[in-house]
């Protein structure tokens, strides 16, 4: 199986040993505690689940700036986005050797992790703007990723962590949330050697489904891992439980047995376009995928990124940096001429009118009115789940 990024073995930071877990939980009760931001909590979950291998905790300011500028930590590890514990009030950590990190997203704010405090640093406005500009390609406060980043505070608390739970993800998504270790184990159990991963934060329409079939066929893959984001999204995005139901129905009806896994991970969307595409590739390698689909405007939002920037960024990464291979895809749509879904770049004799193309706004309007999109756009069984959701909003 493909090696994880940066090490021979996967090293998740979750404390699996029951005795150690019990001792750490008991110790945490007596430690100074701080409330994480939602982004800080998501980083802890990803570190605990092994997706951020080989990181051992939160980065310091020098590493965050180095990663933002060069996609490498100060000691040379390739990494595309800063992994930070930012806060507006660092008084709890000042002078402390160890602190307990509380979960902002679960009622009662249980301890999510215990942290060895290495440094407490205050980032300047210039440093925060530099990190935002390099990571998101903009400092525009209207960008949802920039807005979330800037709202966290300016104090950087760095150090290694030990993770005690996976926040709300295991409880709310017991059939879908999986750690990188669990996905690796299931890939091995299924006997898959060549595995392609598909990232989604949305339900999958027919074009997405066919893109997955295309990638599997062209790459000669044994299996597909549909890996959906289960964390915080921007306003208006479809909630994870609805996406989960829609995707599971599609796989049940339109994929052969033992060809596709439906899984999810606990992370808040960054909307960082190209940089987030590289991050997605890193943690897909960590979970055991050999290939990763990157389509048009991957992880983008608004008009901040060019249509294929998220593919082009990989051309500048030195050979051997990542073992996972990228399957670059164009926009896919139903061809009225060919009566099937095609990549638009592979149909040079087509005009825009030869494709069935619907805007997201138009699709939402149709679903909200109880009108199913055409079968050339969406499977009827999937459309029904989405119609039920949109109509429930008006009930």
pLDDT tens string, the chain, 395 residues long: the values are 999 999 999 999 999 999 999 999 999 999 999 999 999 999 999 999 999 999 999 999 999 999 999 999 999 999 999 999 999 999 999 999 999 999 999 999 999 999 999 999 999 999 999 999 999 999 999 999 999 999 999 999 999 999 999 999 999 899 999 999 999 999 999 999 999 999 998 889 999 999 999 999 999 999 999 999 988 766 777 888 888 999 999 999 999 999 999 999 999 889 999 999 999 999 999 999 999 999 988 898 989 999 999 999 999 999 999 999 999 999 899 999 999 999 998 999 999 999 998 887 888 888 888 898 999 999 999 999 999 998 888 76
Cα separation, 31 vs 51, whole angstroms: 27
Q: Is 236 left (phi over 0), alpha (psi -120 to 50) or beta?
A: left
pTM, full prediction: 0.94
Adjacent-strand bridge partners of 159: 58
Return the bridge partners of 331, or none. Answer: none
Residue 43 in tokens = 């980083």
Give the per-residue pLDDT at 251.
95
3-class secondary-structure state, position 178: coil
- In whole angstroms, what is the distance from residue 225 CA to residue 190 CA? 12
HEC sequence for 77-117: CECCCCCCCEECCCCCCCCCCEEEEECCCCCCCCEEEEEEC
Among 14, 336, 378, 371, CA closest to 165 = 14
CATH of domain 18-170: 3.10.400.10
So what's the pLDDT on residue 395? 61
Closest CA to 79 of 123, 140, 143, 134: 134
Q: Work out the number of other CB atoms within 10 angstroms of the CB of residue 134.
A: 18
CB atoms under 10 Å from CB of 133, counted, come to 15
Give the closest residue to 39 by CA, choosing from 91, 86, 100, 107. Answer: 86
> Distance between the two ends of the chain, CA-based, in angstroms?
49
Positions annotated as catalytic residues are 201-202
**Residue-level length of the chain:** 395
What is the predicted pLDDT for the residue at 240? 82
Domain ranges of the chain: 18-170, 176-394
**Per the structure block, which two tokens stand in for 72?**
């490498």
CA distance 10 to 5: 8
What's CA 349's distance to the chain center, in Å?
Answer: 36
Which CATH code for domain 176-394?
A: 3.40.50.620
Sheet architecture: strand order including 325-328:
260-265, 223-229, 195-200, 291-294, 325-328
Residue 201 has a CB neighbour count (10 Å cut-off) of 17
Instruction: Report angle CA 65, 70, 71 to the nearest 5 degrees.
Output: 90
């Amino acid at each position: 199986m493909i090696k994880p990024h940066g090490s021979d073995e996967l090293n998740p930071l979750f404390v699996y040993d029951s005795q150690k877990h019990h001792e750490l939980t008991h110790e945490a009760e007596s430690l100074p505690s701080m409330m994480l931001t939602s982004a800080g909590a998501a980083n802890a979950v990803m570190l605990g689940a092994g997706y951020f291998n080989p990181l051992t905790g939160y980065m310091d300011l020098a590493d965050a700036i180095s990663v933002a500028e060069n996609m490498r930590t100060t000691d040379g590890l390739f990494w595309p986005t800063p992994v930070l514990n930012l806060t507006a009030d660092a008084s709890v950590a000042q002078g402390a050797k160890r602190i307990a990190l509380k979960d902002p997203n679960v009622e009662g704010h249980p301890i999510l992790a215990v942290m060895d405090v290495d440094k407490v640093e205050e980032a300047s406005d210039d440093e925060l703007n530099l990190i935002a500009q390099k990571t998101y390609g903009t400092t525009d406060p209207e960008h949802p990723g920039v807005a979330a980043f800037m709202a966290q505070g300016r104090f950087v608390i760095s150090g290694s962590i030990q993770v005690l739970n996976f926040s709300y993800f295991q409880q709310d998504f017991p059939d879908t949330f999986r750690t990188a270790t669990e996905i690796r184990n299931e890939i091995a159990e299924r006997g898959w050697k060549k595995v392609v991963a598909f990232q989604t934060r949305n339900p999958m329409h027919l074009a997405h489904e066919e893109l997955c079939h295309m990638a599997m066929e062209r790459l000669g893959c044994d299996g597909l891992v549909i890996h959906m984001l289960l964390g915080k999204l921007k306003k208006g995005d479809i909630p994870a439980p609805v996406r989960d139901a829609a995707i599971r129905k599609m796989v049940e009806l339109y994929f052969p047995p033992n060809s596709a896994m439906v899984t999810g991970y606990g992370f808040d969307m960054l909307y960082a376009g190209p940089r987030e595409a590289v991050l997605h590739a890193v943690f897909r390698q960590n979970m055991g995928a050999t290939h990763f689909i990157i389509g048009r405007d991957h992880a983008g939002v608004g008009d901040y990124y060019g249509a294929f920037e998220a593919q082009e960024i990989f051309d500048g990464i030195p050979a051997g940096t990542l073992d996972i291979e990228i399957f670059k895809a164009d926009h896919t749509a139903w061809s009225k001429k060919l009566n099937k879904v095609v990549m638009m770049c592979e149909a040079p004799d087509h005009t825009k009118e030869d494709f069935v193309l619907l805007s997201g706004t138009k699709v939402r309007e149709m679903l909200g009115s109880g009108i199913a999109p055409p079968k050339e756009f969406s499977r009827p069984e999937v459309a029904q789940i989405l119609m039920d959701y949109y109509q429930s909003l008006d009930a």
